Amino acid sequence: MNLLFDDSKRNPSLEPLSRFHSFFEWNLGGMNLLEKLDRKYPGSKFFYKGPNPDFETLIFNRYPHVFPATLENYDSIYSSNSFLPWELLGTVTSIIEDTLNIDKEWKRFRQKYKSKQSGFHIVGKDKHLYIHSGATIYPGVVFDTTHGPILIEDGVKISSFSFLEGPLFIGKNCQIDNARITGGTLIGNQCRIGGEVENSIILDYTNKHHEGFLGHSFVSSWVNLGALSTTSDLKNNYGIVKLKVGDAIVNTGTIKFGSIIGPFTKLAIGVMSNTGTVFDIASNIVESRIQGYVPAFTWIKPGERYRLEEFLFDTKKIMARRGMNLFEFEDLYLRKLYGKCTE
């Protein structure tokens, strides 16, 4: 089969999330779209059509087995516009069920925990709780599977007094401390999560480790949310949430949506984000109250710019703490992106 990832005409709301990773790279329920399709349709060929040549070069460097879109016909086309953040938040259950159907290994971990149960509690059916044998669950944790399955990956540590409600996926080597997670949530690999999270998607290597509320939001990779940083996900008048992204206005069609937070963004302690706030890539925000659209590479407050070399130095240092590196071609791409975004 010939399968195309079409990222050429993105909805404006996807730009802040997709300046460094394409939609098919997002870790949703333990696998990205490329990995899922590779398992579903072994032997398939993958093609990609991007928004610009620089981004296409970034993708082809990361995935040598993904090819430029040169064919006239494809067996299936996957558009980035089918992955709008507020729509994905309503599909968490189906994403997790898809993971269970594709990765049969999860069946081995259902109810295996009983032999080493150490004081945690289950509300709902035991059969909907899947805990990898390499996970550590401390006494006093409550799992609620009443509204959907819960999958806990290898290396996860969940401390006492955390309440976790399904549908929920927690990725590899995450640390969950004194958290309340509800409403359907996907958490990527190597994240640190605390405080209150409701119906949100959090991609790999992101931290929200302290008190504060994250609701109905989509948070990209390499993001850090400081203690007590909080998102509003409902307007006082219960109106439809509209997002401002650059010069575009995007209607989400829903009254419940919090924030879009692009990769490499950092919010300081106590940052309060109004309903529908959009943070573009590499924003470092200290102001206590933020609303609307925060441009790419913002430093401290809207109107100020992160210095390029400082951003790259900070990024490489942060990635190294997780045993990751910024490749030379990624460094080059970010330099070009900075030039475009700060002209």
Q: What is the pLDDT along the chain (343 residues), one digit of tens a residue?
A: 999 999 999 999 999 999 999 999 999 999 999 999 999 999 999 999 999 999 999 999 999 999 999 999 999 999 999 999 999 999 999 999 999 999 988 988 876 665 455 689 999 998 999 999 899 999 999 999 999 999 999 999 999 999 999 999 999 999 999 999 999 999 999 999 999 999 999 999 999 999 999 999 999 999 999 999 999 999 999 999 999 999 999 999 999 999 999 999 999 999 999 999 999 999 999 988 999 999 999 998 778 899 999 999 999 999 999 999 999 999 999 999 999 988 7
Give the DSSP H or E segment for 208.
Answer: strand 207-208
CA distance 220 to 261: 6
Hey, what long-range contacts does 171-179 have (CB within 8 A, 24 or more apart)?
A: 171/27, 171/30, 171/204, 175/209, 177/209
| SS3 at position 41 | coil
Fold of the 91-300 domain: UDP N-Acetylglucosamine Acyltransferase; domain 1 (2.160.10)
DSSP 146: T
DSSP 239: P
Would you list the domain boundaries of the chain?
2-83, 91-300
Q: Does the predicted TM-score (pTM) go above 0.85? A: yes
Radius of gyration of the CA atoms of the chain, in A: 20
Angular region, 198: left φ>0, alpha ψ -120 to 50, beta rest: beta
- Whether residue 176 contacts residue 162, with contact meaning beta carbons closer than 8 Å, is answered with yes
Q: What is the DSSP string of 266-296?
A: EE-TT-EE-TTEEE-TT-EE--SEE-SEE-T
- Whether residue 181 contacts residue 217, with contact meaning beta carbons closer than 8 Å, is answered with no
* Phi, psi values for residue 293, rounded to 5°: -115, 130
Q: Which amino acid does the sequence have at 48? A: Y
Classify each residue of 32-62 as buried b or exposed e, where b means 16 or more C-beta atoms within 10 Å of its C-beta: bbbebbbeeeeeeebbbbbbeeebbebbbee
